Amino acid sequence: MTNNNTPSIDDIRARLLKAPYHQWLGLDVTSVGNGEIELTAKWREEWVVNVEGGYTHGGILATLVDLTADWALVSSNGRGVPTLDLRVDYHSPARGDLHAVGKAVKLGKQFSVAEARIYDAAGKLVASGRGVYLTPQQDR
């Protein structure tokens, strides 16, 4: 995928953090490339689903998979894209701050595909997934 108009990390960070939900998640953009993005999410006590285990609710992990894959596409096409389908696989209980890596798999005229992997603070894979997104048309 080649695109000389890849948004800068500062542009992506500013756009991403406009959303109050993204702010609440404690997101930060650590790396942006054409069709690739890396994010961090600062752990919050409200994420805990099991007090005894102290691990993060799967909905937070699914959110991170979706938004990381979505923003990997934004890094390539410069525009937000709606999610049409999302698959999330859970690999291990997640605790602490999280690191998310997203990559565009296919940029299509109507539909695009991207995937994401979520790692815990120790670097262990805790969730992964793939989404199908509606590719924005220039005339919309």
The DSSP code sequence of 63-94 is: HHHHHHHHHHHHHHHSS---EEEEEEEE-S--
Identify the CATH homologous superfamily for domain 9-134: Hotdog Thioesterase (3.10.129.10)
Tell me 136's DSSP state: P
Place of tokens 């689903």: 49
Prediction pTM value: 0.91
- The whole-number pLDDT of residue 1 equals 42
Cα gap 108→105, rounded to integer Å: 10
Number of other residues whose CB lies within 10 A of the CB of residue 44: 13
C-alpha span between 41 and 24 (Å, rounded): 9
Residue pLDDT, tens place only, 28-73: 999 999 999 999 999 999 999 989 988 999 999 999 999 999 999 9
> Maximum distance among all alpha carbons in the chain?
52
Query: How much is the pLDDT for 140?
Result: 44
